[in-house]
Amino acid sequence: MSNEDSHKSGSVQIMIEEQSNKVLAPYHRMMDEIQKMPVIETTKTVCPECKLIVDGIIYKDGDNVMIRKYCPEHQWTIEKYWEDYDMYMKMRRYNYFGRGFDNPNYITETKGANCPFDCGMCERHKSHTGLANVVVTNRCHLSCWYCFFYAKEGEPIYEPSLDELKHIFNNLRSQKPIPANALQITGGEPTMHPRIVEIIQAAKEAGFDQIQLNTTGINIGLNPELAYKVRHAGTSTLYMSFDGVSKRANPKNHWEVPLTLDAIRKAGMSAVLVPTVIRTINDHELGAMINFALNNTDVIRAVNFQPVSLVGRMPTRLREKQRITIPGAIKLIEEQTNGVVAKEDWFSVPYVGGINRFIEALSGEYKYDLSIHFACGAGTYIFLDSDNKVIPITRFVDVNGLVEHLQRAVNEMEGKGKLQRKAIAVKTLAQFKKFVDAEHQPKSVNFSKMMMSVLLKRDFASMGKLQMKSLFLGMMHFQDEYTYDIHRVEKCDIHYAMPDGEVLPFCTFNVFPEVYRDKVQKQYSIPANEWQSTHSSWDYGKDKYIRDVKQLEASDLYKKTYGTLVDYFGMPVNGGKGVKNFTNEVFAPAAAAAQVKKAAVAESESIEGDSCGCGKGAGSCGCGNKESEASGDSCGCGCGGQ
């Protein structure tokens, strides 16, 4: 066989594989076959190559919901939109338009005709700010290879002053009709800002109820005093990056997480784990991450999975392999939790809006809308009962029925007087119990009583108590140029406040950084030389964290955190069997130790020379180090190499 023939047969082989692989097949059908598939809806999107606004056709391909778009210059782009048709149709029912801004920061004569390139939060936007993100610095102590959010050596530093940040906070709090009430302080690494404690306190004094600190947790773990300080200043939760239980899946902060959890435990603070889910990279550890959180429910309130947003240009095959959407992650969770957290247990974010609309209609006071697009987020609550049984909320509450019941009441209240509204509310609440199966609810929870106090007394502390007894599982899928859907963007409620006063939806800020995020931050940044002259003791290298893996792994805290996990999903009460990749690779019980060792050997063979455990292999992370003594660990993997 000639070289050409073998090349041809290789290509044919790849084509056959792609067309028969369940994950890849929807990308590799003939166009005339695709065009015959049932269309669900149409939207506007962009060409990933040239950013021309084109029609996006959302269609059904077997179990998948796909989006296709055609650019006259760059032809077809096919992408997965949602990996479960039934779930898509179920969630879609609760989509609704919220209220945007009564005082938008940016007025366009064209009413946003050029959306998404007219952004600045215009009058066309349909949701108020649910969560406001404010970048306090672009400095970071890590240098993760995939991240473009931090200042590299010699690049301008964006680090607003305390007064400038107060200005931004007040801007967010003066939004009408609903001021931003939840704030995420982000970066770079926000704890690198020398006045981070004052910043948090200023945000609290500006009126934010919920303050999240989006961090790797490393600085807090290494400096437990900081945990007390940020908690005292008003931080509600750490929004902590956590990409897996193993070192391989989570090279960013695997070694420091035990320290961080210990520090926040002592400081009386809680954390939300935030895994970015990438197919083929860490999608096998979703169940393990939930189990890890259940093992630490005293400090972990939620796991908020973020299916990866493939922003930037990347090879098509890699994109197809790594793409995962919300239902894709949900299905894997079902598999990896032995069916304990099933597909049916999830609901989309706008469901919650139904409850808030009822309270608003009854009280006449504005409530948070949560009117985001149904495809952007999903969530559920799971309860860890006294007998170690894990119970999702949907097993004892008819969430769909309840939301529809409340919406009917809202419709009935329209145009009625105060007394009549109250009468409708009483009638509605009297029927409430039929949506709660008291027999199956966790022993520690009285859901009906808790909801009564939320709905009647607007006692949100009760909701807080519910959260104390449960673990919230969330999904938030940010868009990229391939999946872009303008209907989703205009309903976005996760916003970024920029230094020029404008406010942007997450998915314009980050998907088109060249015209929004990077452009404006560059305008307001301090050039590196000016920064150096005004911060004489500062040095780029000093900012970087150097990890001592050996020392961290030797600590009792590390061994306790990863070595003594209870397997809640493999327990007989759930009728389950063992979960793949579940047990920690290092501190597994003695019986499994040999198997773990064997797996570790196989792993190191498959990634040649990967002695540091970063998962990238020698040469790709550049460390080539057999020792873990860190010296200038710029890849952040803990290997100590450059």
Partner 1 sequence: MDHGNFTSTVSQDEVRKENAEFNQYVEEDGKKFRVPYRIIKKATFSNVSRKELIDIPHAARLQYRLMLLDPILKARVDFTRGRIIVLYNPKSSDNNKEKMSLDELVEILASQGVHIDRNGIEDIDYDYYHDFYSYAYQPSTIREHPPYAYSEDEWKAMKPEWEANKAKNEVEKLQKFRAYQQQYLIDHPEAASKIVEGWTPPPELQKTSLLGKIFGKKKGAKSDKGFWFHGI
Nearer residue to partner 1 within complex by CB, 114 or 631: 114
Secondary structure of residue 497 in the 3-state scheme: strand
Site for partner 1 in 374-413 (CB under 8 A): 410-411, 413
For residue 61, list its beta bridge partners: 64
Distance CA 146, CA 281 (A): 13
Residue 77, H or E segment: strand 75-82
Q: Using CA of residue 408, residue 411, residue 416, residue 417, what is the dihedral sign?
A: positive
Cβ-contact 636, 614 below 8 angstroms = no
How many C-beta atoms lie closer than 10 Å to residue 85's C-beta?
Answer: 18
> Residue type for 386, please?
S
**Which region, judged by CB under 8 A, interacts with partner 1, from 100-108, 142-150, 280-288, 551-559?**
100-108
Q: How far is the CB of 210 from partner 1 (least distance, A)?
A: 6
In 3D space, the residue among 32, 26, 56, 27 whose CA is nearest the CA of residue 43 turns out to be 56
From candidates 125, 139, 231, 405, binder to partner 1 by CB under 8 A: 231
Cβ-contact 280, 480 below 8 angstroms = no
Q: How far is the CB of 136 from partner 1 (least distance, A)?
A: 14
Using DSSP, how many helices (H) and how many strands (E) does the chain show? 24, 17
Nearer residue to partner 1 within complex by CB, 48 or 244: 48
Identify whether 177 is preceded by a cis peptide bond (ω within 30 of 0): yes
Label the pairing between strands 276-277 and 300-307.
parallel
**Which region, judged by CB under 8 A, interacts with partner 1, from 136-144, 305-313, 354-362, 611-619?**
354-362
Q: How far is the CB of 518 from partner 1 (least distance, A)?
A: 10
If binding is defined by CB under 8 A, does position 426 make contact with partner 1? no
> 550 to each of 611, 619, 620, how far by Cα in Å?
13, 21, 22
If binding is defined by CB under 8 A, does position 52 make contact with partner 1? yes
If binding is defined by CB under 8 A, does position 204 make contact with partner 1? yes
DSSP tag of 285: G
Q: How far is the CB of 12 from partner 1 (least distance, A)?
A: 38
**Which region, judged by CB under 8 A, interacts with partner 1, from 233-241, 387-395, 532-540, 607-615?**
233-241
From candidates 12, 113, 147, 600, binder to partner 1 by CB under 8 A: 113
Nearer residue to partner 1 within complex by CB, 149 or 366: 366
> 558 to each of 25, 270, 412, 466, 554, how far by Cα in Å?
42, 19, 56, 30, 7
**Which region, judged by CB under 8 A, interacts with partner 1, from 5-13, 15-23, 31-39, 178-186?**
178-186
Task: Give me the torsion for CA of 422, 426, 431, 433, rounded to 10°.
Answer: 120
From candidates 24, 144, 182, 599, binder to partner 1 by CB under 8 A: 182
Q: How far is the CB of 350 from partner 1 (least distance, A)?
A: 13
Site for partner 1 in 505-524 (CB under 8 A): 512, 514-515, 519, 522-524
Cβ-contact 586, 562 below 8 angstroms = yes
Nearer residue to partner 1 within complex by CB, 12 or 113: 113
If binding is defined by CB under 8 A, does position 110 make contact with partner 1? yes
Site for partner 1 in 441-470 (CB under 8 A): 458, 460-461, 463-465, 467-468
Site for partner 1 in 3-22 (CB under 8 A): none
Q: How far is the CB of 79 from partner 1 (least distance, A)?
A: 19
From candidates 17, 86, 153, 205, binder to partner 1 by CB under 8 A: 205
From candidates 214, 237, 441, 508, binder to partner 1 by CB under 8 A: 237
How many C-beta atoms lie closer than 10 Å to residue 599's C-beta?
Answer: 14
From candidates 29, 51, 389, 408, binder to partner 1 by CB under 8 A: 51
From candidates 70, 117, 149, 432, binder to partner 1 by CB under 8 A: 117
DSSP tag of 208: -
Cβ-contact 393, 381 below 8 angstroms = yes
Nearer residue to partner 1 within complex by CB, 245 or 303: 303
From candidates 195, 207, 540, 599, binder to partner 1 by CB under 8 A: 207
Which residues have C-beta within 8 Å of that of residue 116, sequence separation ≥ 6?
A: 46, 484, 486, 489, 508, 511, 512
Site for partner 1 in 466-505 (CB under 8 A): 467-468, 472, 499-502
